[in-house]
């Protein structure tokens, strides 16, 4: 029998196999946006709660709600806090022209500084720190009430000789914009300006999703102010400012520590 010469064997046809699909780690943009919003929302609401409980604005709402109509006080305070939150988010968002990697790590350092300061303040506070803040706000509100009553007496209901008097349109305007509403608005806005919660909102808006920060900050303010208005003096006296401050410092340090595990380019 003849031996088969393998050199004369026809070549095998080339078989093309489809390339294996390449899996990337990139997430869907919509999913990444939702995660960024949720992360910003949770961060904003948590830092606002630990910053506002037992704060000056909290006591202002609590004391005014004991003296005047609660809905009027709540509306004035929430309008001021909503405006302050929007302004702070705009200030923080304006820094996004700077590369994110710089704002991310600068904000992380600021969070660490805020956390360390809050821990030091909380550990140095006396157990009666909240009562001192409460008495200070009470004295300030009493002074404002005296000034308001003095102005009201000086203006009077009207001068008969000059023929001036309070007209019906003025009463209609006062029905919608009462002096209590204006007082709650101005006192809350001035107390919040330059406060830790405002600076925190600016820093968060520089590194997180601005819409999430705005919604989370507003909801956090609503919870704290609503608690102050509903609970009044009882809640104000039960809250330990020292404990809240220490917890706030831990929360701030936790956000700073999380930067070690989250990349600036992750989107949240």
The answer to whether position 14 is within a domain reads no
* Tens-place pLDDT, residues 18-45: 555 554 445 555 666 677 888 889 989 9
Position 69 in a domain: yes
How high is the pLDDT of residue 20? 52
The answer to whether residues 56 and 162 touch, using CB atoms and an 8 Å cutoff, is no
Instruction: Report which listed range, 10-14, 46-50, 213-217, 245-249, is most confident.
Output: 213-217
> Residues with Cβ < 8 Å from 184, sequence gap 6 or more?
60, 61, 64, 72, 73, 75, 76, 77, 80
pLDDT, mean over the chain: 76
Cβ of 233: how many Cβ atoms within 10 Å? 15
Least confident window among 188-192, 206-210, 230-234: 230-234
C-alpha dihedral sign at 91, 254, 219, 69: negative
Range of the domain at 182: 36-138+178-261
In this predicted structure, what is the pLDDT of residue 166? 44
Which of 6-10, 78-82, 191-195 bottoms out in mean pLDDT, i.e. has the lowest?
A: 6-10
Over residues 200-214, the mean pLDDT reads 89
Whole-angstrom distance, CA of residue 247 vs CA of residue 144: 33
Number of domains in the chain: 1
- Residue 147: C-alpha distances to residues 61, 156, 179, 221, 260 (Å): 19, 14, 12, 28, 53
Answer whether residue 227 is part of any domain: yes
Sign of CA dihedral 36, 85, 114, 125: negative
Within a domain: 157? no
Residue of 181 and 10 predicted with greater confidence: 181
**120 part of a folded domain:** yes
The pTM (predicted TM-score) of the whole model is 0.67
99-151 pLDDT, tens digit per residue, is 878 888 888 888 889 889 888 888 887 766 656 666 667 677 777 766 766 66
């Amino acid at each position: 029998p003849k031996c088969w010469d393998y050199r004369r064997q026809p070549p095998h046809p080339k078989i093309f196999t489809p390339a294996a699909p390449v899996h990337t780690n990139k997430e869907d943009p919509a999913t990444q946006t939702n995660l960024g919003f949720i992360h910003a929302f949770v961060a904003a609401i948590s830092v606002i709660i630990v910053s506002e409980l037992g704060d000056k604005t909290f006591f202002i709402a609590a004391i005014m709600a004991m003296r005047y109509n609660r809905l009027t006080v709540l509306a004035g305070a929430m309008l001021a806090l909503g405006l302050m939150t929007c302004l702070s988010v705009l200030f923080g968002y304006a820094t996004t022209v700077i590369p994110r990697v710089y704002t991310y790590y600068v904000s992380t350092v600021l969070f660490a500084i805020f956390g360390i300061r809050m821990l030091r303040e909380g550990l140095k506070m006396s157990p009666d720190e909240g009562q001192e803040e409460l008495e200070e706000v009470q004295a300030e509100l009493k002074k404002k009430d005296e000034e308001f009553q003095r102005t009201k007496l000086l203006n009077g209901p009207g001068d008969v000789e000059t023929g001036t008097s309070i007209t019906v349109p003025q009463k209609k305007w006062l029905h919608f914009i009462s002096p209590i509403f204006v007082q709650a608005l101005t006192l809350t806005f001035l107390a919040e300006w330059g406060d830790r919660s405002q600076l925190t909102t600016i820093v968060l808006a520089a590194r997180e999703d601005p819409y999430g920060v705005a919604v989370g900050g507003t909801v956090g303010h609503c919870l704290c102010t609503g608690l102050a208005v509903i609970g009044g003096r009882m809640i104000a006296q039960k809250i330990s400012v020292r404990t809240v401050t220490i917890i706030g410092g831990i929360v701030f340090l936790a956000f700073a520590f999380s930067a070690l595990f989250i990349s600036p380019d992750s989107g949240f």
